[in-house]
Amino acid sequence: MNSFVGQSSKKIGQLFQQSNQLHIKGQLESAREGYLQVIKAQPKHFDALHLLGVLYCQLKDYGCAIDYVSRALQLTSNPVFYYSLGVAYQESGQLDAAERSYLSALKGRPKYPEALYNLGNIKRAKKNNQEALVYFDQALLLKADYADAYYNRGNALKDLGEYASAVQSFESATALNKAFAPAYLNKGLAQKEMGHYELALESYTNALRVNPGYSDAYSNMGILYTELKLWAQAMQSFNEALNLNPNHAQALWNKSLLLLLHGNFKDGFALYGARWREEVMISPVLSSTNPWITSSMFGSPNSAEPENSTGVVHQPICQRLLIWAEQGVGDEVMFAALLPRACVLASKILVQVDERLIPLFRRSFPDYEFLPKGQVIAESNYDQHMPMGQLAEIFCQNQDAFKTIPAGYLLSDTTRRSQIKEQIPLKQKPTIGISWRSKNDKKGRDRSISALDLVGALCLNSSGGFALDRFNFINLQYGATQEELQIVRETLGIEVLSYADIDNFSDIDGLATLIDACDAVVSIDNSTVHLAGALNRATYVLLPFSADWRWGLSSERSYWYKSLFLYRQSNPGEWASPLFALQADLLKNYG
């Protein structure tokens, strides 16, 4: 295009229209040059300034986008310009500025459904789904055929746990847009949470019908098949997702867990590093410029491979190694079983763990230095680093590797244990510690049971009544328990004793001592189980229908902990059968 500096307003207008047409056709570079010429010729041409900002937003150059739209707004307070500025701020992650821009747009145009919709998306990004719903509903009042608004309204409802209403919103979205694959997918996710597995599978299938290359649908189909114990279909679904997208983090991660569940530790741990991909990221990653020792990290920065992949390390990899905590307290306790083997990796070992575990770990592993998780450690204090779960990837390549895990690798405070036994008013009968609830975000509901159902099952006698004096019960459950234990007391006439001097959540060393003061532990799958197993305390574990990979497929014993006995649901949500078997074994050993 020729320079139009000094030309008539008519020619500048023609150039602007030509540039706009190029913009609409997607010829962004030519359009950009045209807009710039218009602005050079007429610096206060606010439409050119605005559309150039919109174009830069399309190019993901959000700084230039914000600059040009802001210049346009200095010339005129156009609601559309405020909306475009909001989009640029939102895309660049500046949510507060985006929110202010959309609100300014609404001042000039109160009936602006797109601005209301994006405000709803900002509230969702800020984890404020209730306010998001208000904006989505306002947008839909103005634009009843707004499929995207129905879709994200459904997402907000799903995040709030209002699954039935979420399904309705997703159905409204797909009624308006029958090719809306993500709406079919997320409808299936909501249906799965409701336990409507066949309907969820149908929704995933519909997502693939309208988009056969939708790797997310295959991946979530694999997760559903895993939870239904349809192993072959699950693996096929994960592989379909990976055929479409070899770097699909969710599919890699869940395929890893499925392989580990089946005892294929070599191949499972080879994919276990997918947990650090941004799309999965199950816990924070240590930020460090020092090399990361890794055996399966995909594209990890500054990685340093172990000497081989067989699980046998013949010489230290570095002088000073930092091992940092990952996932939850239960995982830290479980992977700590492999800390004694880490001595072959380096001459000096530093370990970061949850601060609540430090007294217990220092007593149990006196040769290592323990520091609080999250504490900034100078990089000059270590040469290389690795997450704690990497120990399993290096040392546990087959089932035999678990056989050398020592029984009782954690040591409780024996003095404190004696004091507890003296202070708790126990009768001359077996003392059973109980825990019944998990706070796991994804699987806690499936794992948990009510305290009333658990205690009632353990005390049930052959006539259908309750044997009130069968056991001493000790409360090992973390979190608020008073109301549940009061229900147990009022309904069954059974007292579950709590030790007031120990907070089961914040004082984990105290909880370990309390566990060690019991004759046995009965618990669902939570961190209490890991502590009890690591202390080598006899522990009877209730597992949901689709149990975590670490418990294997069907075994009644744990390869991580020698003192655990496993009782599995035969059907989702049905605890009667495992409780009956558990009670029979508990009575045989302690009745």
pLDDT, tens only, 202-250? 999 999 999 999 999 999 999 999 999 999 999 999 999 999 999 999 9
pLDDT, one tens digit per residue, over 340-356 is 999 999 999 999 999 99
Go through 140-165 and write b for each residue having 16 or more CB atoms within 10 A of its CB, e for each that does not: beebeebbbbbbbbbbbbbeeebbeb
What residues pair up with 386 in beta bridges, in sequence order? Answer: 323
Is the model's pLDDT at 296 over the cut of 50? no
Q: Take residue 305 and report the two structure tokens written for it.
A: 């491979």
The helix (run of H) or strand (run of E) holding residue 435 is strand 431-435
Instruction: Characterize the bridge pairing of strands 303-304 and 292-293.
Output: parallel
Is the model's pLDDT at 306 over the cut of 50? no
Low-confidence winner among 127-141, 437-451, 472-486 (lowest mean pLDDT): 437-451
**pLDDT at position 7:** 59
The answer to whether 113 touches 82, Cβ cutoff 8 Å, is: no
Task: Identify the CA nearest to 289 among candidates 278, 301, 305, 300.
Answer: 301
What does the alpha-carbon distance between residue 498 and residue 476 come to, in Å, rounded to a whole number? 8
> In the chain, what percentage of residues exceed pLDDT 90?
83
The answer to whether 36 touches 52, Cβ cutoff 8 Å, is: yes
Report residue 310's pLDDT band, with 50, 70 and 90 as the boundaries: very low
**pLDDT at position 1:** 46
Average pLDDT for 380-397? 93
Q: What is the largest CA-CA distance in the chain?
A: 103
Report residue 311's pLDDT band, with 50, 70 and 90 as the boundaries: very low
Low-confidence winner among 50-59, 434-443, 473-482 (lowest mean pLDDT): 434-443
Report residue 591's pLDDT band, with 50, 70 and 90 as the boundaries: confident
Is the model's pLDDT at 303 over the cut of 80? no
The answer to whether 371 touches 473, Cβ cutoff 8 Å, is: no
- Top mean pLDDT of 282-291, 377-386, 467-476 is at 377-386
**pLDDT at position 461:** 82
The answer to whether 235 touches 255, Cβ cutoff 8 Å, is: yes
**pLDDT at position 292:** 87
Q: Take residue 296 and report the two structure tokens written for it.
A: 């399966």
Task: Identify the CA nearest to 333 among candidates 416, 439, 410, 436.
Answer: 410
Average pLDDT for 299-323? 58
What does the alpha-carbon distance between residue 569 and residue 574 come to, in Å, rounded to a whole number? 6
Q: Please, what is the average pLDDT of the chain? A: 92
Average pLDDT for 270-282? 84
What does the alpha-carbon distance between residue 463 and residue 497 come to, in Å, rounded to a whole number? 26
**pLDDT at position 465:** 66
What domains, with CATH codes, occur in the chain? Answer: 9-210 (1.25.40.10), 292-402 (3.40.50), 414-590 (3.40.50.2000)
Q: How many CA atoms lie within 13 A of 368 on its CB side?
A: 29
Is the model's pLDDT at 5 over the cut of 70? no
Low-confidence winner among 148-162, 435-449, 573-587 (lowest mean pLDDT): 435-449
Is the model's pLDDT at 498 over the cut of 50? yes
Low-confidence winner among 188-202, 273-287, 394-408 (lowest mean pLDDT): 273-287
Report residue 444's pLDDT band, with 50, 70 and 90 as the boundaries: confident
**pLDDT at position 443:** 81
Report residue 295's pLDDT band, with 50, 70 and 90 as the boundaries: low
What does the alpha-carbon distance between residue 354 and residue 332 come to, in Å, rounded to a whole number? 8
Low-confidence winner among 8-12, 561-565, 576-580 (lowest mean pLDDT): 8-12
Q: pTM value?
A: 0.88
Torsion 542-543-549-553 (CA) sign: positive
Report residue 300's pLDDT band, with 50, 70 and 90 as the boundaries: very low
Average pLDDT for 109-138? 98
Is the model's pLDDT at 128 over the cut of 70? yes
**pLDDT at position 278:** 75
Average pLDDT for 40-69? 97
From residue 206, give the alpha-carbon distance in Å to each of 194, 224, 447, 502: 19, 15, 30, 52
Q: State the DSSP code for 150.
A: H
Is the model's pLDDT at 2 over the cut of 70? no
Backbone angles phi, psi at 542, to 5 degrees: -90, 125
Neighbour tally for 4: CB within 10 Å: 18
Is the model's pLDDT at 299 over the cut of 90? no
Listed in sequence order, the residues at least 6 apart from 483 whose beta carbon sits closer than 8 Å to its beta carbon are: none
pLDDT, one tens digit per residue, over 319-335 is 999 999 999 999 999 99
What does the alpha-carbon distance between residue 569 and residue 557 come to, in Å, rounded to a whole number? 15
Is the model's pLDDT at 302 over the cut of 80? no
Average pLDDT for 91-106? 98
Token pair 């914000």: residue: 66
- Residue bearing the bigger pLDDT, 38 or 310: 38
> In the chain, what percentage of residues exceed pLDDT 70?
95
What does the alpha-carbon distance between residue 523 and residue 506 come to, in Å, rounded to a whole number? 19
